[in-house]
Amino acid sequence: MQDQRKHLEAGSSSKSKEMSRLMLNPAKNHKPETYEDLKLDGSSLLLSSLEMHLPRHLLRAPRDQKFTYMRDILHDYVPPALRTRDQMQKEYREKIMSSYQPLHRELYTIDPVAFFVPTFLKAINDNTEKSFRSIMSEPAPGIFTFEMLQPRFCELLISEVEHFEKWVDRTKFTVMRPNTMNQYGAVLDDFGLQTMLNKLMEDFISPLSKVFYAELGGSTLDSHHGFIVEFGMHRDVEMEFHVDDSEVTLNVCLGRQFSGGELYFRGMRCNKHLNTISRSEEIFDYSHVPGCAVLHHGRHRHGARATIAGHRVNLLLWCKSSLFREMQKFKRDFFSWCTECNQEKKDKQDKLLSEYETSGMGPWRGESNATA
């Protein structure tokens, strides 16, 4: 690792930085290397995608050379604050893992037959849009629901989280909650489930998102945030209206007995249009069923109503694509997936068209003159 860092620093001189360039158009016929064995915390897919954009003379270079070249470029993209955050997260996890003893070890390695219902497993194995559609409903555009998890797996996961919470109480460990909206809940990645959840994303969610969210980062998912939220008495009550820090969100109800807690969706929006009103066709409400999943894009605005009785536990997997996020930075004015952006674009075009017409230069004016 030390040697690697030296190499990167050496490669960061102004001269070599000038030379570190990517090509705008990918080499479409190039078959990129896999970088999975390098254990890069989920950026192996990003490197494979980036490889297509390498200067042509580097495409056939040894993998190590390509890797160093790309790491050099990516290194400049990661702000120092983020590097510190990653380091702190690593230390935080190591501290937990040095003392926490898992209760159900069978949860920590993916076992498809034990985890998933047979219909879901068959659809993923068949791996076609037709097989996916055969088990999924799309009750509103871009929102998919389907049966996914075995009841026993749901029970074991709830029980593991309870076991973790007891450990937190007993050791007085200062635990980080999943996000700013939740007072309760646990980050599964923090106590050893990261590898299992990464496999869940790569082998069971990516096949779906490649088909249903290809234009929205679903083809290049490369990292995740996996956590549990809990609602009810002595837990969180509701979830405010928000968008997720994800390209694709998997939300599965694990149980148990509860009433209320419906999800409400209100259309896709970019940051600029986050608080605009919803259109009637964007309004969709969903009642959770244990074992059943909801899949949606992260920018699909949503919230959860109050869980008025009982106890509701949900598994959330925020799947992210660093490549998609990089690409979005270049789009400053218009997002094709935002309803309001699309409307603004249309209004602008209409306005231009009508100005063109009233200026007397439009073909319509000419035609009306001709018929007068």
If the CB atoms of residues 293 and 338 are measured against Zn ion, the closer one turns out to be 338
List the structure tokens of 128: 């076609």
**Quick check: 338 binds Zn ion (CB under 5 A)?**
yes
Q: How many residues of this chain interact with Zn ion, rule: CB under 5 A?
A: 5
Task: Tell the smallest beta-carbon distance from residue 273 to Zn ion (Å).
Answer: 4
If the CB atoms of residues 288 and 299 are measured against Zn ion, the closer one turns out to be 299
Cβ atoms of 316 and 250 within 8 Å: the answer is yes
Q: Say how far apart CA 182 and CA 230 lie, in whole Å.
A: 9
Q: Classify burial at 185, counting beta carbons within 10 Å of its beta carbon; exposed 0-12, middle 13-18, buried 19 or more.
A: buried
Cβ atoms of 113 and 149 within 8 Å: the answer is no
Per-residue interface string for the shown chain with Zn ion, residues 258-277, x marking contact by CB under 5 A: ------------x--x----
- Kindly indicate which of the ranges 133-141, 186-194, 341-349, 351-359 contains the residues binding Zn ion, using the contact rule CB under 5 A: 341-349
- Four-point Cα dihedral 118, 120, 126, 130, nearest 10: 130
**Quick check: 340 binds Zn ion (CB under 5 A)?**
yes
Phi, psi of 235 (to 5 degrees): -135, -170
If the CB atoms of residues 58 and 243 are measured against Zn ion, the closer one turns out to be 243
- Kindly indicate which of the ranges 102-110, 284-292, 330-338, 361-369 contains the residues binding Zn ion, using the contact rule CB under 5 A: 330-338
Per-residue interface string for the shown chain with Zn ion, residues 223-262, x marking contact by CB under 5 A: ----------------------------------------
Closest of 259, 256, 273, 280 to residue 333, by C-alpha: 273
For residue 313, the cross-strand partners are 230, 255
Q: Say how far apart CA 10 and CA 5 lie, in whole Å.
A: 8
If the CB atoms of residues 263 and 268 are measured against Zn ion, the closer one turns out to be 268
Percent helix, strand and coil across the chain, each rounded to 5?
A: 45, 20, 35
If the CB atoms of residues 256 and 273 are measured against Zn ion, the closer one turns out to be 273
Task: Tell the smallest beta-carbon distance from residue 276 to Zn ion (Å).
Answer: 8
If the CB atoms of residues 22 and 243 are measured against Zn ion, the closer one turns out to be 243
- Kindly indicate which of the ranges 165-173, 278-286, 287-295, 333-341 contains the residues binding Zn ion, using the contact rule CB under 5 A: 333-341
Query: Helix 322-329 vs helix 44-51: angle between axes, to the nearest 10 degrees?
Result: 50
If the CB atoms of residues 205 and 341 are measured against Zn ion, the closer one turns out to be 341
**Quick check: 96 binds Zn ion (CB under 5 A)?**
no
For residue 186, the cross-strand partners are 228
Task: Tell the smallest beta-carbon distance from residue 327 to Zn ion (Å).
Answer: 16
Per-residue interface string for the shown chain with Zn ion, residues 270-309, x marking contact by CB under 5 A: x--x------------------------------------
If the CB atoms of residues 84 and 271 are measured against Zn ion, the closer one turns out to be 271
**Quick check: 216 binds Zn ion (CB under 5 A)?**
no
- Kindly indicate which of the ranges 95-103, 258-266, 303-311, 340-348 contains the residues binding Zn ion, using the contact rule CB under 5 A: 340-348
If the CB atoms of residues 46 and 341 are measured against Zn ion, the closer one turns out to be 341
Query: Helix 2-10 vs helix 63-77: angle between axes, to the nearest 10 degrees?
Result: 70
Run of H or E residues at 248? strand 248-255
Question: What does each C-alpha distance from 28 to 22, 48, 50, 133, 268 come to in angstroms?
Answer: 14, 13, 12, 29, 31
Q: Which positions lie near Zn ion, rule CB under 5 A? A: 270, 273, 338, 340-341
